[in-house]
Amino acid sequence: MKKAFTLLELVFVIVIIGIISSIVLSDVKTNRLRDAATQLVEHIYYTQYLAMKDDKFNVDSKWYEERWQIRFTSNGIAETGYTSAYAIFSDFNGAHSTHPEFNELAKDPLTGDAISGGVTNAVLYSDDGVYQKANLGISYGVDSISFSSSCQYYGSMRIAFDHLGRPIKGNIGSTTVNSNIDTLKYITSTCEITLHSGADSITISIETETGFTTIL
């Protein structure tokens, strides 16, 4: 005789499935910090790609100041309530202000928007054509961003790449950097960038030489 499930057993199974589903879906829906880290890893790789594709070497200019870089801020600007953000740019305008201007910003491959979350007053979060997800505070609830000592240079939170994809720390337009490749501030030990949201945090690592980037 073929046995069948009783109504009580079926109800019990449905309840268990519902509990498991709610836990899984809840975790997926609220893991905004992981989403922020995933986006950031993709954009760090994109910065490296641009640097390797667009070699800035030029004997007649301060070419080293024009390397593609990703600049972070942990306090943003007043317009966005001082939230954490980043921008990807090449400082090619004549004045080399070290601040991303609109025409210097990288364009997001999917949306075509300029990648800046309101890092400085030069390009605002509310400007048309801005990739607003680069403001990690507003988009993902990131409270602050911290750099390990291996990739922070006098408080500057920037990562640039050379034409071979090697990561460089600090402000590449500072007076301590010149066109001699031996004096560039290459990262010599694993760089760790940590995103903080309340009591939670998630860390991204960037390796030396290769610039291999991953979520720890």
Least confident of 116-120, 128-132, 145-149, 184-188: 184-188
pLDDT of the residue at 74: 84
The pLDDT of residue 41 is above 80: yes
pLDDT of the residue at 108: 94
pTM over 0.85: no
The pLDDT of residue 185 is above 90: no
Rounded Cα–Cα distance for residues 47 and 62 (Å) = 20
The pLDDT of residue 197 is above 70: yes
pLDDT of the residue at 30: 54
What are the pLDDT digits (tens) for 125-169?
Answer: 889 999 999 999 999 999 999 999 999 888 889 999 999 999 999
Dig out the tokens for 211 from the structure: 């610039």
The pLDDT of residue 181 is above 50: no
Phi, psi of 88 (to 5 degrees): -115, 125
The pLDDT of residue 25 is above 50: no
Phi, psi of 206 (to 5 degrees): -120, 120
What proportion of the chain, given as a percentage, has pLDDT over 90? 54
Least confident of 58-62, 129-133, 180-184: 180-184
The pLDDT of residue 122 is above 50: yes
Q: How far is CA 105 from the centre of its chain?
A: 14
Give mean pLDDT, residues 52-71. 85
Computed over every residue of the chain, the mean pLDDT equals: 83
Q: Pick the residue with more confidence: 141 or 20?
A: 141
The pLDDT of residue 7 is above 70: no
Rounded Cα–Cα distance for residues 70 and 93 (Å) = 17
CA distances from 129 to 41, 113, 132, 165 (A): 22, 5, 9, 28
